[in-house]
Structure 1
Amino acid sequence: MNTAARRIQRIYLGLTLGNTLAASFIWGVNTLFLLDAGLSSLEAFAANAFFTAGMVLFEVPTGVVADSWGRRASFLLGTITLAVSTYLYYLMWQLHAPFWAWAVISVLLGLGFTFFSGAVEAWLVDALRFSGYEGGLEAVFGRGQIVAGVAMLVGSVAGGVIAQATNLGVPFLLRVGVLMVMFVVAFALMRDIGFTPERSVHPLRATKELLVASIDGGLKKPPVRYIMLAAPFTAGVGIYVFYALQPYLLELFGDPKAYAIAGLAAALVAASQVLGGWLAPRVRALFRKRTTVLILSVVVSVVILVSLGINRVFWLALVLLAVWGVVAAAAGPVRQAYLNDMIPSKQRATVLSFDSLMASSGGVVVQPVLGRSADLYGYPASLAFAGLIEAIAIPFLIASRRQHAPADVASDAGVATAVPDAAAGGPADAGASDQAPRPDGQP
């Protein structure tokens, strides 16, 4: 990796560190925060569903911001929007606001995160290619995941401990403060490199054109389409499980006020992310095809979630949770590299945002359904149901594998050059920048 590429990677890792730290202060206590505000389990996860609905609603319009105004502008707008909406969350908790208010602000939170989704990843990939980096993307994404895992470990543990020492609202204020710091850092360091924003087109026309481009570059290409169609089931379940583990572990532990234990759940996932990020390129090297890694990760996840559903032992739940996190984390960079190697640079942010839209759409439905099942049958049963829902993703991943896309067998030494006509319905730039010699959360 040359000097320019190393600088791009350092900026990417710094943005990832700060953003994840800010977000993770509340990850260990978010569900408990909503329940403490007077919401039922159904309402708490419905509020999260409104968050994901906001992401679905705004993914493409904010993709226009990233592709028309620039990735840097999108990141800056995201930090401001998230800081304001997080502070409003804190105010609603103090006021014990009605559910409709939580729904509205959750949508605003979703808007904030859509400014990040796709934009930072696209910024990284384009800047690396422009700087002459020719290595595999798994290694860079893996390092990013390690940094994110460390930040999440620190933030989630600190958030749980601070909440127990003070109250459930303080971690939200900490998030606001760190987000404002990240605005200053990004403003000073982040520049659009290897990409020129298209600012001449009217926003509505640009939205339409980029929506068409995201469909052409995504859903119309079979190997990409099937990966995107699997996302609602894997991501929707993943979001629910992450937040359901807080009350689930407290129930097994036997103390509903042990907020530090809730933070431990997020911390375990964070530590798993660090290990998974380190393992990603090594796991990838064990298999000829990237889709093999993705399919196996879902199969293992389903087995673990069903096991969590029948488990009643606290320490065993921690072990299963750690394994679940490592498996998901090791597969994450492989999926990112697989998609990026099939997406042309000019529409990269939009197509990646569309992929995030597909993932968020699953959360809109899955979270309230599983939240209701937790009200009726308890959190253990809801985790088992979650595993069954995630299993629906497996046939889609197998279908993507059967398209034999070059990106499926791309090595760490480079990327695929094109998706063939037979597999994708037409030629495509498979990830190289148009100009020759790529950080993203949850309430």
Structure 2
Amino acid sequence: MSRSAAPAAPNPAARRVQSIYFTLLVGNTLAASFIWGINTLFLLDAGLTNLEAFAANAFFTVGMVIFEVPTGVVADTWGRRVSYLLGTVTLSVTTFLYYLMWVVSAPFWAWAVVSVLLGLGFTFFSGAVEAWLVDALHATGYRGSLEKVFGRGQAASGAAMLGGSVLGGVLAQVTDLGVPFLVRAGILIVMFIVAAVVMRDLGFTPAGRAHPLRATREVFTASVRHGLGNPPVRYVMLASCFSAGVGIYVFYALQPYLLELWGDEGAYSIAGLAAAIVAGAQIAGGWLAPSVRRLFRKRTTTIIIATISSATILVVLGLNRSFWVAIVLLALWGLVFAAAGPVRQAYLNDMIPSSQRATVLSFDSLLGSAGGVVIQPVLGRSADVYGYPGSLLIGGLIDLIAVPFLIASRRQGSASDVSTGVASEPESDDADAAPGAPPASSA
């Protein structure tokens, strides 16, 4: 059993950093979740087949693969705030383009192009906000647990996802499938204004202001060394190729799967229920994450058990034919996934230097997206051939492939595997160590 870090004295600066982080998470998730419950139905309504709909999602992940590292370098050289602002603008514009393509029943190639650009928008966020949080907590002398902050953030974003997905589904039912996309674009504009006012880079000085090209090259090289070149980090990132790729497919496939079990293809609010249940599980999982972490001495134990459990639930879900049983299984799947998420975030952040943090985290997202590029069309095609239940069963089997990589990461014996405090600053040739408490000892 691990012993949690000692309670820290009140720290107004650290609390303000967390409040800003939660605000950014809630705003982003609320905007995104307005279409999560009806995205697949939206694409099918635009005239795409199952294969084309999931191929469009795959092109979205192609965009993330292409742009993850470049935008991570942007965050590490120009600043996390700049990266976030660029993300809100890009996503707002491309979301509106999605709406226009639905209106005119655009050909598949148009959906592919704009989906790639949507991926670009999200890559400005991935890594940047998380890196901003960890560096700012170091700078403000935070002494608490990273799992606790990530868990609360996940719970807050889960609440936003719950509200957004339900409202998006209901709004689509009383208006049409395009209106939630317009609402999403509007919320993103609001978040641009909010971030421009409250977000400042703390504990991190953008390197690119003096020599952007040299800084970009140095950050990229160091990121490869501290990411793929660091065995415990590398194996966790490789595992995400399978777990994240399957997770992306499952989330969107559950919409038409639940409608199929319900027996009414026009019940958009039922489709939104899938996202809402996952959101509720995310809230519970976020709050449970610190307690789950204390159950095991090593962080990797939590991650491995969660992965095996998730895969098993998907296999059972694929064999199931009852709507209400599917609802229970979906809730369990979301809860397991959510409870392990903050633990995984803390494990990775504890092994990454500040000056390469955003880029390495972007590498992690890149590998997850790369898995999605292959897995989504494959599972989408399996849905055409075997139905959604068959595709979920196959997805569960693919998810299990991540387990050997997680075991390999565990075997490296990283100190971060047993850390319980705020992420310590790993050694870096490119940055001074940021202030922060050393990891608490474990029993």
Q: Same fold (TM over 0.5)?
A: yes
Q: Secondary structure at the match of 1:194?
A: coil
Match of 2:370 among 345, 361, 364: 361
* Alignment partner, residue 225 of structure 1: 234
**Letter of the structure 2 residue corresponding to residue 317 of structure 1:** A
Match of 2:88 among 79, 83, 92: 79
Deviation, structure 1 residue 433? 7.2
Aligned length: 426
Whether the aligned pair in 2 keeps the contact of 1:126 and 1:433 (CA below 8 Å) is no
Deviation, structure 1 residue 147? 0.4
Match of 1:110 among 103, 119, 123: 119
Q: Secondary structure at the match of 1:378?
A: helix
Deviation, structure 1 residue 352? 0.6
* Alignment partner, residue 162 of structure 2: 153
Separation in structure 1 between the aligned mates of residue 111 and residue 215 of structure 2, nearest angstrom? 31
What whole-Å deviation, never above 9, does each CA across 1:137-170 have from its counterpart, x for those lacking one?
0000001000000000000000000001110000
Match of 1:319 among 322, 328, 334: 328
**Letter of the structure 2 residue corresponding to residue 100 of structure 1:** W
Separation in structure 1 between the aligned mates of residue 147 and residue 63 of structure 2, nearest angstrom? 29
**Letter of the structure 2 residue corresponding to residue 292 of structure 1:** T
* Alignment partner, residue 433 of structure 2: 434
* Gap runs ≥5 in structure 2: 1-9, 437-443
Deviation, structure 1 residue 198? 0.9
Q: Say whether 1:39 aligns with 2:48.
A: yes
* Alignment partner, residue 385 of structure 1: 394
Separation in structure 1 between the aligned mates of residue 315 and residue 391 of structure 2, nearest angstrom? 9
Whether the aligned pair in 2 keeps the contact of 1:130 and 1:433 (CA below 8 Å) is no
* Alignment partner, residue 120 of structure 1: 129
**Letter of the structure 1 residue corresponding to residue 296 of structure 2:** F
Separation in structure 2 between the aligned mates of residue 326 and residue 78 of structure 1, nearest angstrom? 28
**Letter of the structure 1 residue corresponding to residue 133 of structure 2:** L
Paired residues for 1:10-409 under 5 Å:
10-200=19-209, 205-409=214-418
**Letter of the structure 2 residue corresponding to residue 65 of structure 1:** V
Deviation, structure 1 residue 385? 0.4
* Alignment partner, residue 7 of structure 1: 16
Give the share of equivalent positions with the same residue, in percent: 70
Whether the aligned pair in 1 keeps the contact of 2:88 and 2:121 (CA below 8 Å) is yes
CA RMSD after TM alignment: 1.5
TM-score, normalised via structure 1 length? 0.94
Q: Secondary structure at the match of 2:227?
A: helix
Separation in structure 2 between the aligned mates of residue 76 and residue 154 of structure 1, nearest angstrom? 24
Separation in structure 1 between the aligned mates of residue 107 and residue 378 of structure 2, nearest angstrom? 21
Deviation, structure 1 residue 210? 2.8
**Letter of the structure 2 residue corresponding to residue 308 of structure 1:** L
Deviation, structure 1 residue 60? 1.2
Deviation, structure 1 residue 435? 3.8
Q: Secondary structure at the match of 2:208?
A: coil
Q: Secondary structure at the match of 1:25?
A: helix
Separation in structure 1 between the aligned mates of residue 206 and residue 423 of structure 2, nearest angstrom? 24
Deviation, structure 1 residue 436? 2.2
Whether the aligned pair in 1 keeps the contact of 2:239 and 2:402 (CA below 8 Å) is yes
**Letter of the structure 1 residue corresponding to residue 433 of structure 2:** D
What whole-Å deviation, never above 9, does each CA across 1:1-55 have from its counterpart, x for those lacking one?
4000000000100111111000000000000000000001111010000001101
